[in-house]
Chain A
């Protein structure tokens, strides 16, 4: 079973690298989002520094949605999903491994890029470190929630937008605690740990529950 799980993880990373352009597309999208904001807001450095964490979080949220709709749809179209269901691995675990690979391929590069892009928003060191840490803690929740949307819309031709509409409301708590933890990192009334722990809790809950929801959706769609 370990061999099968490892093979699935490796295959997902390979596909992300060869088809999606891997990390590059997500990072470029992230960069463009971050660059657009100062043009829209104007060159007020204090304001940019204050809203910097929020901008990084919204950019990361949208960037994680890129390609997420293909997480299961591609496998459903070419028949791979049927075959995966004939393996010894439960469908829930298959979804989990696919999400993990998706996170490594798309979110991890964003987390590494965040401190660099945050400089363009005049954020100070504390805020940069805090935001990067909250992205690390919170993006797993986004990926796993996204899997539910991906599963529900897998059989649809243009399910990507619908998937985003379904998932973005669920991502709001993650966004709230992510941004509040980032803000707490650079001074504020609440300690950094409180919202960070809630964020970690949200991620753990999503990792534990979302695969069951996604697997149930896939089984129903197959009928």
Chain B
């Protein structure tokens, strides 16, 4: 399995916030191949805002985010090499699981190889629902399909916002294994979480409530 031998994400002196209101400032970190960062902190501290800023869905109030690595042109936005797993699963209930994943593979996969949808579904233990409309699935199953999306398109940076929500114990183990494999291939993970995710030797970025209080 090829991976990303020299992927690197750097955030320098980042100030994040919503609508011009700063939530946290002076965030600087560098993540290189295989490293993981846990973003922790109380509700409203800016965990989701940080992930959305890194994905390019929100603009940073100050500071810069850069990604480098083989095959990445300089100045590539981090969002283009990132998978974002937010609170919503991004599934269309009227389409089958297979169709949903095929669509995201085509949208997010770029010029990568043919997506292994069956393999991704097997990896989250849901091979048997491939032809079900996604609307029939339970919350936990939808979450697992959203996790399978991370596998059908090759992207080095995973931005996971509470990835373990609604997952049962077995699925949490599968998630831990998925993240382990991704890191072994040189991928980088940033996860906002309240629950332990089984990420070994991950660094921790603690956003404080004080910083979270709106001025």
Contact = CB atoms under 8 A, between A and B. Distances in A.
B80 A222 contact: no
B110 A7 contact: no
A83 B84 contact: yes
A120 to B, nearest CB: 34
B180 interface: no
A7 B102 contact: yes
B118 interface: no
Given A4-B107, A11-B95, A79 B58 contact: no
B106 A19 contact: no
B91 A82 contact: no
Contacts of B89: 78-79
| B18, B57, B58: residue with the most chain A Cβ atoms closer than 10 Å | B57
Nearest to B78: A86
Interface in B72-111: 79-80, 82-84, 86-92, 94-95, 99, 102-104, 106-108, 110
A78 B80 contact: no
Contacts of B55: 82, 86
Nearest to B104: A83
Nearest to B159: A86
B94 A7 contact: no
B59 interface: yes
A190 to B, nearest CB: 47
B84 A15 contact: no
Contacts of A19: 94
A186 B70 CA distance: 65
B56 interface: yes
Contacts of B106: 3-4, 6-7
A95 to B, nearest CB: 14
A32 interface: no
A contact patch SS: helix
B56 A79 contact: no
B35 to A, nearest CB: 21
A14 B134 CA distance: 14
A98 to B, nearest CB: 13
Contacts of B113: none
Interface string B33-69: 0000000000000000000100111110000000000
A15 B92 contact: yes
B19 interface: yes
A161 interface: no
B168 to A, nearest CB: 22
A217 to B, nearest CB: 15
| B79, B80, B89, B106: residue with the most chain A Cβ atoms closer than 10 Å | B106
Interface string A45-89: 000000000000000000000000000000001111011111111
B59 A79 contact: no
Nearest to B103: A11
B79 A14 contact: no
A86 B56 contact: yes
A223 B84 CA distance: 16
Contacts of A82: 52, 55, 57, 84, 86, 88, 90
A83 B107 contact: yes
Contacts of A157: none
28 contacts: A7-B102, A7-B103, A7-B106, A8-B107, A11-B92, A11-B95, A11-B99, A11-B103, A14-B94, A14-B99, A18-B95, A78-B88, A78-B91, A79-B87, A79-B90, A82-B88, A82-B90, A83-B90, A83-B107, A86-B56, A86-B80, A86-B82, A86-B84, A87-B107, A87-B108, A223-B19, A223-B58, A223-B59
Given A79-B87, A82-B52, 13 more contacts: A7-B106, A14-B95, A15-B92, A18-B95, A78-B88, A79-B86, A82-B55, A82-B86, A83-B104, A86-B79, A86-B108, A223-B18, A223-B58
